[in-house]
Amino acid sequence: MANAAGDLYPHGLKSLSPATTVEKTLQRLGSKFEVVPLPGDSAFVRPASILYELDGKQRRWDIIQAHSSVACVLYHSDMDAFLVVRQFRPAVYAHRLREAAADGKPAPDRTAGFTIELCAGLVDKAKSLSQIVVEEIHEEVGYDVSVEDVRQVSAAVAAAGNNGAISSMFYAQVDNSKRVNAGGGLEHTGEAIEVLALPFAAVPAFVLDITIPKSTGLMFGLLWAHTGLLSGELPGRAASLEGGELSSKATAEGDALTLKSVLPS
């Protein structure tokens, strides 16, 4: 268990989140993991086929109907760091299982199913995108922001080959005064989210590190915000923060990365 957890904390990563560490989540997962046919009443995805014509011939395309989503790049000005989340993704682990089976290899450890992402959520309620982002920041990361505090950065088509839902990206800045709870998601819905702080100076190396499972949205969002804050196009990062609370450690260690949990001990 300790060695498996160590694989998820490279570059000096340190977690201070006792309730949602990788070890704790693995204990909650149990031993059962089974892929079964999708029931027809899923509230999240629905398989379907589209029939259409191209060049006078009928074509068929299989799709998955799913909700659109929102995600938010969060910069913590007091820490000079970005807040990101880590959680177990069953779909990721199932894919790793299929790959291992196809290659004749043993099943990977459950830690292979953990990914680092932006704070995000589904657009599954009759609220504005900004309001949904505000709620997700409160639930997952534990910070209180207003609709006026978030700004939309961009939007992209998710999984164009079989989904086509829209993923809208936002940006917000937080500081210590906006902290209102431990975050971690809604436990009664099965969420077990670890909140991590990524030092500003570590962003480029972190994004390019292929050993750390992470989402493409995270990579784009971090690089966009890093560039904007570094150039001054995005306000809020004081020059005095260069080499500050978290970034100083990353700078002192050269290419080393330090993800620090911001959940209370």
CA distance 43 to 38: 11
For residue 236, give both structure tokens.
């809020």
* pLDDT at 246 (0 to 100): 57
Per-position b or e across 198-216, b if 16+ CB within 10 A of its CB: bbbbbbeebbeeeebbbbe
CA nearest neighbour of 67 among 123, 127, 126: 123
* pLDDT at 261 (0 to 100): 64
* pLDDT at 1 (0 to 100): 29
Per-residue pLDDT tens over the stretch 71-121: 999 999 998 999 999 999 999 999 999 999 999 999 998 989 999 999 999
* pLDDT at 241 (0 to 100): 59
* pLDDT at 204 (0 to 100): 92
CA nearest neighbour of 119 among 25, 205, 222, 211: 222
Segments of the chain with pLDDT less than 50: 1-5, 16, 243-244, 251-255, 265
* pLDDT at 245 (0 to 100): 55
* pLDDT at 185 (0 to 100): 76
